[in-house]
């Protein structure tokens, strides 16, 4: 069977990643594609530790946090992402190793080292959609829009550095999308990029 297509949704907190990932899955499923929507951190053993740390009194150390993100991703790749791709599915993942690079880099970790560690086991995305939004707007969405308190990953100064780390990335599979657009337009822009990949894959398979 043909190799699947791997799409990741990235960006700082409050940009609408989860909503977009779900919308992409629904749209592609309606069009007849076999689509898996997943996310990181996962709900597994390691992902649960990370999620609990989001609102804990203090964060894990940068070293421990990075290590647990990688352990969580190893399981995710092995148990969900690779099997789905090998079966020809379109996989849409809400956050992936670009987030680890950006967020842990903002804590002073070596971003190149994080990248190299992930590349030992994590498949490269076919497309990474980075949602871009001013940090102030993202925080307003989190607090006023969702009514949430900011967690340990969402402080403004920290998110500013995370956003800068995302801006520095120049991987060939990255496409940047203005996340200030209405949800329907944001989904339309994302699907336009994804359909280009689907078309290329079909041509490759036929050829």
What value does the mean pLDDT take over residues 62-69?
A: 96
Tokens of 12: 């700082």
Angle (CA) 159 109 37, round 5° = 60
Q: What is the third-level CATH fold of 5-206?
A: Rossmann fold (3.40.50)
pLDDT digits (tens, 9 = 90+) for 151-185: 556 678 889 999 999 999 999 999 999 999 999 99
Closest CA to 99 of 126, 73, 123, 81: 73
Residue 130 in 3-state DSSP?
strand
How many Å apart are CA 2 and CA 206, to the nearest integer? 10
Task: Outline where the chain has alpha helix (H).
Answer: 17-30, 45-54, 62-76, 82-86, 97-105, 111-119, 135-140, 156-168, 183-206
Closest CA to 150 of 164, 161, 136: 136
Count of beta carbons in the 10 Å neighbourhood of residue 205: 11
pLDDT digits (tens, 9 = 90+) for 43-62: 999 999 998 887 777 789 99
């Amino acid at each position: 069977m043909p190799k699947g297509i791997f799409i990741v949704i990235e960006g700082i907190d409050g940009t609408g990643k989860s909503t977009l990932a779900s919308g992409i899955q629904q749209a592609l499923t309606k069009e007849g594609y076999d689509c898996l929507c997943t996310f990181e951190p996962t709900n597994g053993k390691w992902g649960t530790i990370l999620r609990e740390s989001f609102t804990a009194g203090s964060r894990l150390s940068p070293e421990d946090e990075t290590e647990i993100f990688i352990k969580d991703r190893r399981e995710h790749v092995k148990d969900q992402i690779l099997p789905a791709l090998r079966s020809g599915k379109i996989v849409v993942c809400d956050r992936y190793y670009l987030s680890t690079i950006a967020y842990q880099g903002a804590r002073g970790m070596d971003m190149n080292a994080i990248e190299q560690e992930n590349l030992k086991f994590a498949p490269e995305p076919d497309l990474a959609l980075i949602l871009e939004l001013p940090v102030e707007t993202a925080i307003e969405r989190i607090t006023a829009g969702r009514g949430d308190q900011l967690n340990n990953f969402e402080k403004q100064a920290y998110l500013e550095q995370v956003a800068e780390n995302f801006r520095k990335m120049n991987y060939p599979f990255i496409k940047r999308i203005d996340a200030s657009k209405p949800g329907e337009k944001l989904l339309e822009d994302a699907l336009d990029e994804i359909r280009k990949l689907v078309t290329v894959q079909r041509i490759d398979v036929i050829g």
